[in-house]
Amino acid sequence: MSRQTVHLKHLRVCQPFRVEFHGMPPCEISYSRPPGLTRRQKRRPAVASCVSRPVLLRGPIFLLYLFPCAVATPVQCFLMYYCCPSLLCLAKSAPVSCAVKLSRAPFLHRHCGCAMIMNTLYPNNCPKWERTMTLQKLRRWLGFPLEDRYRVHIEQDIVQSSLRPGIFSALLILAFQAVMMVLSLLRKGGPFASLRRQGYWWLYVTLFSVTLLFLLLIVFLMRRRRPCLDTFFLPLQTFYTAFLCLWGTCVTLLDQFGGNSLSVFTYVTLSAAALTVLQPWQSALIFTGNCLFLNLLLPYTPAGPDNFYSNAVNSCFVTLGAFFISLWFYRSKVSSRYAKIIIEQQNADIRSMNVQLDKMAHTDELTGMKNRRSLERLPLDDRWNEMPPVSAMMVDIDFFKQFNDTYGHLAGDECLQRIAAVIRQFMEGREGVAVRFGGEEFFICLFSCSRAQVLEAGETLRAAVERCGYPRGDLPQGCITVSIGAATTEAENAPRLEDLLSRADKALYEAKHEGRNCVAAYI
């Protein structure tokens, strides 16, 4: 019989009930107290032992069975939250990490969905933690749905994509209001013939003025630095959208004095939802407040009391539709920009990996020099046109196989690294490329270097290797030496790499034939 210990804090003993841990075989939970602990000492945790036989655990939950399901939901939630925190806040040593299921209270699944009785309850679940998680989810649903590190980039993209449509819509509204003002002036009696005409006139003038101010502010922000535009455009657009919806509501209320139409409210609200980018909390606040403002004032219009129900239903449906249109539009914008950012990040990662792979493919790991494969990228044609002639040197470490057999391969690797360091120092200030050709051989290509210059450079390199003084007791010199074969091409056309390699290799053979530790030129 297996036994595990679960700490249940502040457990109070009352009527018994059965508890099952969902996702496990039926287990027994029996309540016990440490020796010497009375019921009034509540600060120390109680201990429950889990064994294989089902028994009963005493607790305050028996009160849940005394109330009907439809009546006792608040009491049930209160008891589950505050009277039995032991089942809500399981210790980390609990035998399972999923839900606690009450076999005698199945109705709790229906009434305590936001409390503890769920099939996927997390460990250490408690009301405060659950309320925090709910608020976080609600905040993400009504606000920015992604992580905050993406907010700046996504909002910048939204500003750039919304700038032209916003300017075009404002210009269209400006032109339409100008036309309506002209038509009001041309009507018989003018715009001040009645109070209703005066209301329309001042509404046209107000929207024209606010739209013109909105455009001037956008132009001002565009002429300044881009961070100003990214920072202030979206709040400015939100304010203008709220004003536009309020303006449409005022026109609708004015229309009620000559009819019973909600057309202006409908098309202004839906247009604002479809053409502007608003966060869900902003659209909910603007459209809901606008709808409440309309329905609070509609009963005071001439036809308001008779048509209040139909107007309220229609305006609520329009508001709900506008909210979901705005929500879908905002989420689609954010998701598309998020996908773009992810693709850009993946492309950047791929480019970085390609650079690293390319470096690994064209770099010798032991010496850090370029390898033989990098010679494929040697720009002989371009260099020949810029700085002829081109010379090459093939450098070989003398008796390197014998050195490896005598001192070991680790010493051979250290020797190669030392020679590579000397060659890198030699190439400083010279136009050319130095690579490890393979084994103990190094290839050097020098641009704008004549035959006499390459022989002088070869002798300089040979002496530098000898001066580095890497000890070697099996040679008369007592140190590492190299043999160098040099070749130069001064043809009219650009030389081929294969020709340079072949000539330098033949010159190296001549240097070895002459006794090594010398420089030989290809004739």
Residues annotated as catalytic are 440
Type of residue numbered 247: W
Kindly tell me the number of DSSP H helices and DSSP E strands found in the chain.
Answer: 15, 12
Q: Can you read off the two tokens belonging to residue 275?
A: 């053409």
CA 417 to each of CA 366, 430, 439: distance values in angstroms, whole numbers, following the listed order: 7, 21, 12
Contacts of 209 (CB under 8 A, 6+ apart): none
d(CA 319, CA 317): 5
Q: Can you read off the two tokens belonging to residue 350?
A: 């791929």
Q: Can you read off the two tokens belonging to residue 340?
A: 């773009």
d(CA 487, CA 462): 16
Query: From the CB of residue 508, how many other CB atoms can be counted at a distance below 10 Å?
Result: 24
CA-nearest of 162, 153, 163 to 341 is 153
CA-nearest of 129, 52, 54, 61 to 90 is 129
**Half-sphere exposure of 40 toward its Cβ, with a 13 Å CA cutoff?**
0
Query: Do 466 and 477 meet the contact criterion of CB atoms below 8 Å apart?
Result: yes
Contacts of 67 (CB under 8 A, 6+ apart): 75, 76
CA-nearest of 46, 83, 48, 88 to 64 is 83
